[in-house]
């Protein structure tokens, strides 16, 4: 993810949330976040990434933040021929970041033509909070915690 320098905790948090939401679909195979994050920032052929993850499609994206605006670009890629199945751009106010995560997850499921149970759809679109400040603190704490160093765990 690109854009807002020094805010990896924010980008990783959004990625983690989308992974978590998509994993709630009984029809969708979603690799573990540690497997997905292994490829973060690495230049590698999507076919190889898909093969290593054991998936037929990959969701990739970028985020840009300018003042109070947020732009998320996401695309669903077919690993077999590296073709785009779907691409979308989301322009929102930063305060709407929680809604974007649900919208992206729901759009992916719809584009893959998966059937969702009522409970699964509710989990995809549920907002953990309406207050962005504590949510940002949570994302930052998770980011530090996931580094597994004594200093970073203390910072979390």
Domains, the chain, ordered by start: 8-128 (3.40.50.10070)
Encode pLDDT of 97-152 as tens digits: 878 888 888 888 888 765 545 566 566 666 666 676 777 777 778 777 777 777 76
pLDDT recorded at residue 1: 38
Whether 80 has a pLDDT exceeding 90, the answer reads yes
pLDDT tens by residue, 31-55: 998 899 899 888 889 999 999 999 9
In this prediction, residue 51 carries a pLDDT of 93
State the pLDDT confidence band at 13, using cuts at 50, 70 and 90: confident
Res 2 pLDDT > 60: no
Work out whether strand 83-93 and strand 69-78 pair parallel, antiparallel, or are unpaired.
Answer: antiparallel
Residue 136 in contact with residue 10, Cβ under 8 Å? yes
Q: How confident is the model at residue 25 (pLDDT cuts 50, 70, 90)?
A: confident
In order, the DSSP letters of 117-155 are PHHHHHHHH--S-S-HHHHHHHHHHHHHHTT--HHHHHH
The pLDDT of residue 75 is: 92
Question: What is the mean pLDDT of the segment spanning 77-97?
Answer: 90
Whether residue 70 is predicted with pLDDT greater than 80 in this model: the reply is yes
6 has a pLDDT exceeding 80: no
pLDDT of residue 104: 87
| Calpha distance 52→149 (Å, rounded) | 27
């Amino acid at each position: 993810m690109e854009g807002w320098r020094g805010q990896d905790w924010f980008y990783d948090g959004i990625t983690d949330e989308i992974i978590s939401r998509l994993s709630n679909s009984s029809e969708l195979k979603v690799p573990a976040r540690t497997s997905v994050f292994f490829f973060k920032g690495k230049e590698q052929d999507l076919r190889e990434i898909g093969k290593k993850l054991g998936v037929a499609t990959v969701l990739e994206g970028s985020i840009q933040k300018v003042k109070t605006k947020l732009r998320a670009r996401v695309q669903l890629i077919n690993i077999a021929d590296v073709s785009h199945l779907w691409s979308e751009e989301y322009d929102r106010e930063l305060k709407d970041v929680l809604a974007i995560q649900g919208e992206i997850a729901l759009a992916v499921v719809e584009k893959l033509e998966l059937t969702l149970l009522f409970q699964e759809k509710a989990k995809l679109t549920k907002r953990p909070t309406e207050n962005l400040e504590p949510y940002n603190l949570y994302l930052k704490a998770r980011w530090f915690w996931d580094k597994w160093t004594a200093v970073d765990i203390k910072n979390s």
